[in-house]
Amino acid sequence: MPSLDLIAISVGNTRTHVGLFRNDELDQSVDIEGTDRAKIVEVVTEHWKACAESEKRAVAMASVNEVTARELRSVIEDQLGEEVYELGTDLPVPIGLALDPEATPGVDRLLCAAASWDLLKQACVVINAGTAVTVDFVDGEGVFHGGVIAPGVQMQLDALHAGTDALPQLNFSKPDGEPFGRNTASAMQRGVYHGVRGLAWRMVEEFALAYEAFPLVIATGGNASELFDGDELVNRLIPELELRGILASAKLALAEPVDSEE
């Protein structure tokens, strides 16, 4: 089949990530604050024009917010005059599931798991550090077993401020190497920083004990570099992991059918 040039859109709770894949490689990537619809449409249109000469091109979107996804999809389709595929609705995510029958995991978690399996083809733990923090396990057969969900670092800081009279409003920043928080703000930053890292370490240990083997560990998400860069626990930092999951899903679902008579 001809190679697929793909515009992948990941709409999160606080940021939107738009990437252009050409020949399976991420050619361009833009991280947009919030859900600035005009900016998203502008970037998608530019990417669409950039691959105008491609034999096969497509737009695929994943979102954790159904209302936002529906509205954004409509605007982009009107702008491009092309169908926008939605992950989990139009395109399945290629990952096995070992979950409760009634479970409805977020498409972002499934896409990161699918991308990890597509890249590694072995058991792994996926840490996604964004608005929320998820630590999930994919076994050596490419099956997603779920994991844990916790508040992200900024959400924790916001909750500390909202739930108390004395604790200040802070934006997260990585603390320095000293273990002691010598003032309130420093203590809060260290609390959420080491809390998320400690959660990740503990869950990797738990998953390894249950699986009876130590898996590779991947970290992704907006706070992944601040939290895990240089951490001996993490084997790879892949900021665009969810976009790569969209690519893996689209390539499989949009592949040309093989002619059985050939």
Indicate which residues carry an active-site annotation.
Answer: 108
Length of the chain: 262
Judge contact between 23 and 247, C-beta under 8 A: no
CA distances from 181 to 9, 62, 123, 167, 191 (A): 39, 39, 37, 14, 9
Judge contact between 190 and 175, C-beta under 8 A: yes
The structure tokens 């992948």 sit at 8
Largest CA distance in the chain: 74
167 DSSP assignment:
P
Q: CA–CA separation, 135 vs 253, rounded Å? A: 27
